[in-house]
Structure 1
Amino acid sequence: MKSTGRPKPKKISKHKKKGWKTIDSTALEDFLDERSFEERTGGTISDKSNSELFFIDKQVDLTTTDGEKPNRRNKKLRCFSILEPDPRIKAVNLGKSSKSQNIKRLHPDMKKRKIDKEEKLFEAELNKFHTRNLRQRKYRKNAPNLLVKDYDLWKDLSDTPKEGEDHILDVTITKPVKPPKNHYKKPSAVPAVTDPHPGMSYNPTYGDHQNLLGKALRVELKKKKDEEKIQKETVLKKIEVEEKVKNKEVKKDKDETSEEDEEMSDEDLMSTGLNPAVRREDKKSYKQKQHDWKVKIRARQKNALKSRRIRESEVYRIKTFNKEFKEKEQITKKRMKKKQRLEKREVFKTKRLGHAKFEDADIDLQLGKELSGSLRKLKPEGNIMSDRYKSYQKRNIIPAPAGIQKRKLAHVKFYEKRGHREISEQDAAKNKK
């Protein structure tokens, strides 16, 4: 049996040049590589001194203290070991969601639509988030500096709220009530207190006083005119009522005569018949019907061709169309300007808030004889309360009060019984005797 041990090295003669190639030169190559590496990295280690190779550590390690082991500090507590994952316990298999399985079963087109829908929803949410962030940034830029506050030197400290009073508001975070859009907008641009007419002064000029008197006269004339109009209308209504009564009586007589005529005509119809008899000669043949049908189709085709030609010829009317569009734009601009002007005027007008219409208060004035020329002899006119009340009505804050309306009473029909009537007649006869 052959031995399976380490092979013996070959015996080669080294004194001849031929045997040099078989010499093992690995140790020499390693030495040369190490020497070249040391030269590259700062010189040979054997040539360097101890101060260059070693240094003395003089700093104190603050992490560890005397009598305390460093490993014990970093050691984990055993009570928290239950929270760490155990490699021996296998993960729970939750299974696939029904939603994902349903998507897989869907048709590819339906699946694509569903995915696109989800992507769109995600994009919409992202856009909403970005817009919200932008809004917040703008608000932060334009927000007033809350740190700068006015300090009142003479403020009474007893009025200041104590600590803990707003505790409920801080905890519950109650939002302030959102007012409506027109909450801070005034209902009318009319000033609360208007300047009085210069003719109302205790010592006015002749022109101002005459102007005020003329204004009051115009108001009174208008009232008188309205009263005359109402009287005229009431008289006309009375005449109309009388005419209606007469017309009703005439109509009754006519209706009676017309009923008699209708009875006679009904008898004639019953004898003659409702519809006349249809003749065979008047009926259309198949040939006539076909001819009429063809004529209708030709007319329809002719109208279609005509409308098509008109549509094609409209290409050459582009200039006229442009002209018409410009004219329409100018008209719309004019209307918009007019609308803006009317809106500006409507701000100063009083609206009808209730049933009644607003009426201006009577002008407070004094005649030429009543003017004194001094404040001592001045006679007071008007009332502050009524003036403020009318001002509120004029500024669309409260509605104008409706007049006292008459209550409509039920129209009861009275009639006398026959037995009562006979007794009353007998009593009347006795009294005559």
Structure 2
Amino acid sequence: MSLIKKKKHVSKKNKKAWRKHCDIKDVEDFLEDQRLEERLGKFEAKKDSELFVVDTVGEEKPEVVDVKPLTLKQKKRALLPQTPKCYEVLLPTSKVQDPNAKRNHVNPVGTKPTALSKLSLKKQFEKGAYLKKVELARKNRRIVRDKKRRIKEIRNTFDKNIWGEDVLEVKGIPSTLCDDFISTEAQLHNVLPEQRLRPKPAPPKTLVTRPAVVTPHPGVSYNPSYQEHQDLLQQVVQHEEKLMKKEAHLHRVTTSLFSRLTPHEKENQWREEMSEGLPKPHNPANSPSTPSDNDTDNEYKAINPPVKNKKKDHKARRKQKERIAERERLKREKIDKKKITDIYKLRKLQTLISGKEKREEALRVKRAARRALVAATAPPALSAHRTPAPQPDLVEPAQLTGDLRNISSTVNLLRDRFESLQRRGALAASKLMMTKRKRLKAYFKPGHKVTDQDVENYLKKKMVKKTTKKAVVTK
């Protein structure tokens, strides 16, 4: 026998208790059914063809047709006309009609050309922008067509060595790794770095005919004449002046742009900026002498006395107009006089302009000839670095010996030949890359066997190193 629970009575005096103890499930189910009917339509309004399907085939199994499975590309193309999943949220799911049947339709931006867009398109068409685009598209199509035609052309010459490029030793792979069972990745991984990372530079397009050994200046001799030595000295001075001028320019545009302040000036400037707007201390020595109270007789005088609106009379206004008219007349006369003088100067200006044009034309021809000469004699660009310019060599007068026995060489022969090969285009120009050495600190490791004499010797060595460093810096 089932026990019947006694109905529990609770208070429902506020909304929270009412919601907690009232059963509104039937109302929620009714509203849910009503929303479902709004989305999918009412059951009574649907036709039988939409609700039922007539089975005309029966239990006969359909004929199995051998259909070739679609590829991944075909499946993706079949899904193109469908709406993507990310846009399904934006589509309307309700079949409730729009309550405002006369809603204005707004075209999306860009469907209808505006007056401003029409004007900009007209200007672009007048400038020839569309003609340029058409010409560029035609050119690109022609390039693609020629490329395809070249690819389809059959090679008629059979002078290519089909066995030379596939040899593994040619690619830099060691002979011990040329077996068939070793993968290509493993073979290429063991190629030497200088053969793998440094490609061979392209051969020079132009051969520079320069002498292998350039004849030096006569002033470089161990026993030169006075005039030749002075001539070489002037060239070295001009070279050093250029270097000094370049260094001064770099100093002017970098270091000199920033002013240097002493700590005392910096502190005064900071104190002055921080005390801006604060009452300054009264200094009776610098304050101007003020009149005593006995002189003023306790009379109040304003600092800025009131201004009276005093009107000008007819005579003052007439004089003012006359002055303005006279100023304008003198200004106009000066302009007319300048026009007349400019007319007389036309012939002189014409001669000056023609002379300047002739000088500029001569300079232009001279520069073009110089550029052509430099281009003809310039070495081929085998790398991104410039070829090193030859530095002037000079033997100081105090080191001139007069014989070959006591002469001292000032030029490194190996470096000179290396730079000569670069200037002639036989080697690619390079840049000296100096690696920074790590500064290693020396520490004294104390121990139970260390004596006071060992500590003194270590400190002496440290002091000697410091003194030698200072001497090198001062030199």
**TM over 0.5, shorter chain:** no
Larger Rg: 1
Q: TM-score, normalised by structure 2?
A: 0.29
Q: TM-score, normalised by structure 1?
A: 0.31
